[in-house]
Amino acid sequence: MSAGQRIRQLRRYRTIAAALARNGFGYVSDELGIVDKLAIFRVTERRDIRAKGVGERLRLMLEELGPTFVKLGQLASTRPDLIPPSILKELEHLQDQVPAFSFDEASRIVERELGAPLDEMFARFEETPLAAASIGQVHRATLRDGTEVAVKVQRPGISAQMETDLEILADLTRLAEHRLEWARQYRLRDMVEELAKALRAELDYGAEARNGERFARLSEKWPHVDVPDIHWDYCSRRVLTMDYIEGIKLSDRALLDAAGLPRRLLAERYAATIFEQALVEGFFHGDPHPGNVLALPDGRLALLDFGMVGRLTPSAKRNFAGFVIALRNQSTKGVLRAIGNMGAIPETADEERLYADIDEMREKYYKVPFDQISMGEAVQDLFAVAFRHQIRIPAELTLLGKSLLTMEGVVSALDPGFSVFDVAEPFGKKLLREQLSPSRIAMAWLEEAPEFADLIRDVPAGLKQWSSLVQKGRLRAEVELGNADSLTRKLSRIGNRLSFSIVLLALSIIMAGLIIGAALGHAETSIWRFPIIETGFVIAALMFGWLIFAIIRSGKF
């Protein structure tokens, strides 16, 4: 690390420590030793900050620390399996409000990234951005061929600033896991690394462009969905250019009604689009809030902003469908099995308590008509159980849960009487039929066939090797016992007692033989005037004492 980077990092440490202190978390700085890194540090708390809850204080601190921490907080709000509900609620209210940067800076970035003067690439490029966020801002422009486009430009210096922040966070989480029990318990470092990976992905506009292109291809299957085309000649890691689409936000009910757009139809199409993406394609929009989904004049929906997307493997789709099906079938064991398949249940989990919590969740939906169940509430119940028992659900499934919660909120606002499950049920049945179809099972077997072929091919060589080891007497068997230490102690104790008994018995027999022989033969028990019996007693006493001492010292008598 260069001297300049080190200085920037120390300054950032000071800023973080000050924000912690001002928002009532000064004790965290002390526990982590952040203040030890700073020569002079004196910051007072905000007035009345202690009257606020922990979640609100955390939100205020993240907003004070700027873009990196705001984005991490927003990403963390998608992990209800890791974050307590009270804090999660505050994280969802994080404000991503930052001033726009100047047009001169934006034009310099575009020209440097795309390698040409702005007026050579665009017939028009509006100076005032349409929107500004922590990572970048969007300008409306017109290409030389007359195509209306939206150009997303990354904020200057934001990548370096976020990398510095992420390095500091990695350092702090290592310290936290070393010093604090709760940090180790919740695997804080793994959590931050996961969020940092997602944030770095958002910094790469090239990845967002690839996501957009994939959605554009998929939209060809969806007659009611429009996705803007990506203009690759005008894209880079820090610049993204796509078709400009104008529409009405799904949250603006007044404009929707004025345009004559039926809200129930929009709700149905919106919900169907999310389920189609997740449960059929396994590739879904990770942030489908109303600002990223527009209603077009013809009733179609336009999807925007593909920086956050989710991918579901076939097994993840099966696990999620298994959870919904088991919940509907009132099967506690089925729900437990689905949760176990979704995430790793820690060895320390209280299985009886976990079963009871799942049974309580099942009871909540017992004999309730499926169309009256809130999917958002069911997902929240699932994540609440996962949080209580420290079951870490894979990020893609928690992102799906967050998307479904967002979707249900938008749908309820559009038409309070609309049931999400009316749309979801056909997709669930279709997924179940696909899983049980002979063709799908046969395809799965065919996919596994090469591995089985390799296994069968290796059997003769394995048998030959095994036979050779048997013939040479070199076959070794390793047995692993879960309670081996306890068993070893017991066997050692038995062995020591057995040895003691055998030695004592042998000495007794020898001494008895000598005494009886001497008595019967009326002979002296001495050789060359050496007292054999007396000597034997001395030797036996010494051996007995040594054996007792050795056993007592081993602690395994």
Residue with token string 């976020």: 162
Chain center to CA of 137: 29
- 3-class SS at 311? strand
Rounded CA separation 76/46 (Å):
25
96, amino acid identity: D
The CA distance from 400 to 165, in Å, is: 28
Phi then psi dihedrals of residue 138, to 5 deg: -115, 130
Cα angle vertex 77, ends 292, 275, to 5°? 50
φ and ψ of 300, to 5 deg = -80, 165
Q: Which residues contact 376 (CB under 8 A, 6 or more apart)?
A: 404, 405, 408, 409
Q: Rg of the chain over CA atoms, in angstroms? A: 36
DSSP-derived secondary structure for 101-148: PPHHHHHHHHHHHHTS-HHHHEEEE-SS-SEE-SSEEEEEEEETTS-E
Ramachandran class of 4: left when φ > 0, alpha when ψ lies in -120 to 50, beta otherwise: alpha
Closest CA to 284 of 267, 309, 264: 309
Residue 444 CA from chain centroid, whole number? 27
Q: Which residues are catalytic?
A: 287
Contact yes or no for 313/359 (Cβ under 8 A): no
Q: How far is the C-alpha of 7 from the C-alpha of 14, rounded, in Å?
A: 11
Tokens linked to 402: 């967050």
Query: Cα-Cα-Cα-Cα dihedral of 76, 81, 83, 86, to 10°?
Result: 120
Q: What is the DSSP string of 282-302?
A: SEEES---GGGEEE-TTS-EE
33 with 16: CB under 8 angstroms? no
For residues 312 and 394, is the Cβ–Cβ distance under 8 A? Answer: no
Within 8 A by CB and 6+ apart from 208, the residues are 202, 240, 306, 307
Give dist(CA 394, CA 391) in Å, integer.
10
H/E segment holding residue 48? none
